[in-house]
Every structure is written in C-alpha cells, then in structure tokens.
C-alpha cells in the first residue's frame, strides 16, 4: 500500500508543480478568473503528460493498484484533462481576454494550434469512450490513439511555449522540456523499445494442446539460459505470437493458466472468441512469442490469511482459478476451496479431468460443482444459472465468512456480484477479474 500512496503523492505533485512554480515565481495576476484559466491549462498539460506514464505498463505502478484500475484511471484522467483544457480558454476569455479568443477567426497561428489540439483531444476522448458502441476494431482504435496522443502533446507544448507568460521563467521552461521528453520517451518505450526487446528474447511455443472444441492451451518456454519472469498464480500476461506468414501479429492479454511452480514453461489457455483468437489453433510448436508479464492482483497469495475460498468461474473464466489451484496442489496447500464452474454444455468444460484429480488429491481441500445452463438429457448434475439460491445452498449457513472470487462473462459476473451483495457479503470479500479493459 505504501507504493500506492507514494504513486498518488508523486502523481499529484507532478500535476500541480507548474501551478506552484507559476504562483510563487511567476508574474501572476490579481484576478481570480484568468489565473484559474491559466492554472487549468497548466494542470491539463501535466495530466496529458502523465497519461503516457500510466499507459506504459510500468510494473511498480501496476503492482500497487492492478492493471485494470490503472487503465480506468488513465481513462478518467483523460476526461478530467479534457474538461480543464476546455475551461482554460473559456475562463481566459471571461477573465479579460475577450470572447474574440473563442469566436474570432483572426488569431495568431499558435492560438489556432491550441484550439486544434483541444479539438483533437476531445475527439480522442470521445472515440475512446465509445469505441465499442462505434464497433471500431481494437487495432484501428489503438493505431489512431497512438498517433493522436503524441500529436496532441506536441501541439499543446508548442502553443503553451509561445503563449504562456509563465514559460518565460527558467524553472518552468526546464519543467516543460523535461515533461515533453518524458512523454516522448514513455511513448517510444511502450510502442517500440519494449516490443523490440521482448521480440529479441522471445519465448518458444513448445506445446499446443486442444482442450475442448474451441479452446487450446499453449505452452511457452523462455530462451535458453533465461528464467521465466516472476508471477503470481492468477495473474495475466501480454503475448504477441510470431507464426506463419499469413497469421496476424497482435498483442493480446491472457491469464497465465500454469502455476509459477512450473520452472520450464508458462501457459495460457485460450478460447476462440473473435478475429485473432479464431486463429489460435493454428499456432505450432516452434513458433515464437514475445511475452510481457506479469500483471493483475487476482490471486489468493496476496491474501494469505484467507483460508475459506469460493471460486465462481464461467466458461474460459476458469483460467486464473486453474493457475491458483495448480499452485495450491504443488505447494501442498490446505485452503478449503469450493469451485462453482458454470458452462453451457458438458463438452465445454475445460480442465474437467484435472479438476476431478485435484478433488481427490486433498491439496487444496477442493470441491467442484459443475452447473450447466444447456445440459444434454443424461446430465445428472446442477442445471440453470449460478444464482443466489445455488450459492446459498452450496456455501452453507455462513457465506459472509468466505471470500468469493468471480471470473466469467460480464452478465454472469454482474448477476453474481449483485447476488453476493444481497447476501450481505462485504465488498472486501468479493474479488473479480474482468476479461476486458473496455468495461
């Protein structure tokens, strides 16, 4: 948690630093509104710079909060920056510069540049917020985002460098140049340097194992002499496969389904769900994979004091649980785990045999209950959806004393979280993994 507090202090300090410098060292104005407008501009610019740091997958930032929270924060801060920068010219105009600043056409080019930067920023925020509603493909959105982000920064930098009175101060000039270099470095590191380094020491695919009709487990081993990066059971990694010529090269995130106790390989178990994953079964032994891990905080090992766990998985949402259970088996763990595993049909149950073996093994003390929503006639187990009635029946009298981990399709996850809350399970005893960063 200290890491988290340090990050928050550093972030806040970074964003307000130019305001402090301008207030104490700058020329300043007696008037509140134009001063506020100027400060909004300064803080908006710094938030935009910090966006590049948040997006760069810096491990010590991610470790403190979890990747999903950092990405959500990045999105929210973009909206805040957009608002501050929108009010920046409005307050300046209202505070004495005149509405000509907003509506006038005869403006110096650097004012136009600021206006264009603001428009492009608002467009970028709008498209990113409604990417799924526009049915914009992820790769196209990412390309646009990677072009517009640096463009906005360069335009905003140039505008403020020429316009800003306080940028005559040496300290402000230094800060501005440092911020620009930082943003450019973070951007290049994230989109070019790190991918190049990961590709240079890429992993090798050593096994492609079909699990069910459209699910495969891919095992990957690091280059000779190199260790697998450290990870916790339940975490995920980013993988870019380099396969036959005509197969797409895209970076995707998947849970690590192996346990960190495996020293020779990491694996992901991947369901064919869309454009890219429909090609996953074509991956071959010997293909290369650039692997960047590990991320996320969905892991029982982060909460060693909790011993009575309920895992609720839907379909391919079993993968983080499999990693945790494999880890518990290998470390002779004595946790008590109830796994409620929802699928449509029996044939779709991934890892069924291994789970049955684990149940017999005693480490952890595991009970698996399969629930099928569209079972064949001869199915003798539980049917329907996982709901409050089932959870109460399976968990016994005191569900509030257990810790619930939930991972599955969005509608299932939302319904279960609502049921758990209605059952008065406190929020700190409910953990979830979301298989999309767009929610």
Ligand X SMILES: Cc1cc2nc3c(=O)[nH]c(=O)nc-3n(C[C@H](O)[C@H](O)[C@H](O)COP(=O)(O)OP(=O)(O)OC[C@H]3O[C@@H](n4cnc5c(N)ncnc54)[C@H](O)[C@@H]3O)c2cc1C
- Using CB atoms, what's the residue nearest to ligand X? 274
- Whether the CB-CB separation of 220 and 265 falls below 8 Å is answered with yes
Nearest approach in angstroms of CB 222 to ligand X is 20
- Whether the CB-CB separation of 344 and 316 falls below 8 Å is answered with no
Residue 223 DSSP one-character state: P
Structure tokens at 420: 């758990």
Question: Distance between CA atoms of 120 and 51, rounded to whole angstroms?
Answer: 15
Nearest approach in angstroms of CB 275 to ligand X is 4
Nearest approach in angstroms of CB 188 to ligand X is 20
Q: Which is nearer to ligand X, 8 or 69 (CB)?
A: 69
Distances in Å between the Cα of 68 and the Cα atoms of 3, 71, 235 are 17, 5, 12
Enumerate binding residues for ligand X (CB under 6 A): 138, 236, 250-255, 268-271, 273-277, 296, 316, 319, 435-438
Nearest approach in angstroms of CB 312 to ligand X is 16
Residue that has been written with the tokens 């079964």 in this structure: 281
- Whether the CB-CB separation of 179 and 46 falls below 8 Å is answered with yes
Handedness of CA 17, 20, 24, 29 (dihedral sign): positive
Q: Which is nearer to ligand X, 209 or 436 (CB)?
A: 436
Query: Is the bond preceding residue 231 a cis peptide, omega within 30 degrees?
Result: no
Q: Which is nearer to ligand X, 18 or 408 (CB)?
A: 408
Q: Which is nearer to ligand X, 157 or 254 (CB)?
A: 254
- Whether the CB-CB separation of 241 and 252 falls below 8 Å is answered with no
Nearest to 269 by CA among 208, 330, 339: 208
Nearest to 294 by CA among 57, 69, 74: 57
Residue that has been written with the tokens 């109830």 in this structure: 338
Q: Which is nearer to ligand X, 22 or 218 (CB)?
A: 218
Q: Using CA atoms of 291, 292, 296, 302 in order, give the dihedral in degrees to the nearest 10.
A: 90
Structure tokens at 424: 């008065």
Nearest approach in angstroms of CB 439 to ligand X is 9
Q: Which is nearer to ligand X, 111 or 301 (CB)?
A: 301
- Provide the CA 104 distance to its chain's centre, in angstroms: 42
Q: Which is nearer to ligand X, 271 or 300 (CB)?
A: 271
**Sequential DSSP letters for 99-141:** THHHH-S---HHHHHHHHHHHHHHHHHHHHHTTTTTT--HHHH
Nearest approach in angstroms of CB 319 to ligand X is 4
Nearest approach in angstroms of CB 32 to ligand X is 44
Nearest approach in angstroms of CB 73 to ligand X is 16
């Amino acid at each position: 948690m200290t890491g988290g507090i340090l990050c928050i202090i550093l972030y806040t300090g970074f964003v307000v630093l130019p305001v402090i410098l301008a207030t104490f060292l700058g020329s300043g104005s007696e008037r509140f509104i134009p001063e506020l407008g100027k400060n909004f501009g300064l803080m908006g610019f710094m938030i935009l710079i910090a966006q590049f740091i948040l997006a760069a997958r810096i491990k010590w930032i991610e470790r403190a909060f979890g990747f999903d929270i950092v990405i959500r924060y990045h999105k929210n801060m973009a909206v805040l920056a957009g608002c501050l920068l929108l009010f920046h010219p409005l307050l300046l105009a209202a505070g004495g510069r005149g509405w000509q600043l907003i509506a006038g056409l005869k403006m110096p080019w650097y004012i136009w540049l600021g206006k264009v930067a603001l428009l492009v920023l608002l467009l970028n925020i709008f498209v990113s917020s409604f990417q799924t509603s526009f049915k914009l493909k992820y790769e196209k959105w990412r390309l646009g985002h990677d072009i517009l982000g640096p463009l906005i920064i360069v335009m905003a930098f140039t505008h403020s460098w020429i316009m800003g009175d306080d940028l005559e101060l040496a300290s402000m000039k230094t800060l501005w140049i440092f911020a620009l270099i930082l943003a450019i470095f973070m951007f290049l590191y994230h989109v070019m340097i790190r991918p190049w380094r990961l590709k240079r020491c890429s992993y090798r695919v050593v096994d492609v194992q079909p699990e069910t009709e459209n699910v495969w487990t891919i095992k990957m081993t690091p280059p000779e002499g190199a260790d697998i990066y450290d990870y916790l059971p339940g975490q995920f990694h980013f993988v870019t496969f380099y396969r036959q010529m005509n197969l797409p090269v895209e970076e995707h995130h998947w849970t690590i389904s192996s346990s960190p106790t495996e020293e020779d390989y990491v694996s992901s178990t991947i369901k064919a769900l869309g454009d890219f994953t429909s090609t996953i079964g074509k991956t071959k032994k010997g293909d290369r994979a650039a692997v960047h891990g590990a991320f996320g905080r969905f892991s029982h090992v982060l909460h060693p004091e909790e011993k009575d766990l309920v895992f609720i998985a839907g379909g391919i949402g079993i993968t983080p649980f499999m990693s945790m259970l494999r880890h518990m088996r290998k470390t002779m763990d004595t946790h008590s785990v109830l796994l409620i595993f929802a699928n449509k049909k029996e044939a779709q149950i991934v890892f069924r045999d291994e789970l049955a073996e684990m149940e017999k093994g005693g480490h952890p003390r595991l009970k698996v209950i399969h629930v099928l929503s569209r079972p064949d006639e001869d199915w003798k187990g539980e049917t329907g959806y996982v709901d409050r009635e089932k959870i109460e029946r399976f968990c016994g009298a005191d569900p509030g004393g257990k810790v619930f981990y939930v991972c599955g399709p969005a509608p299932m996850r939302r319904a279960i979280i609502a049921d758990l809350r209605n059952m008065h399970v406190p929020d700190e005893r409910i953990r979830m993994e979301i298989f999309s960063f767009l929610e």
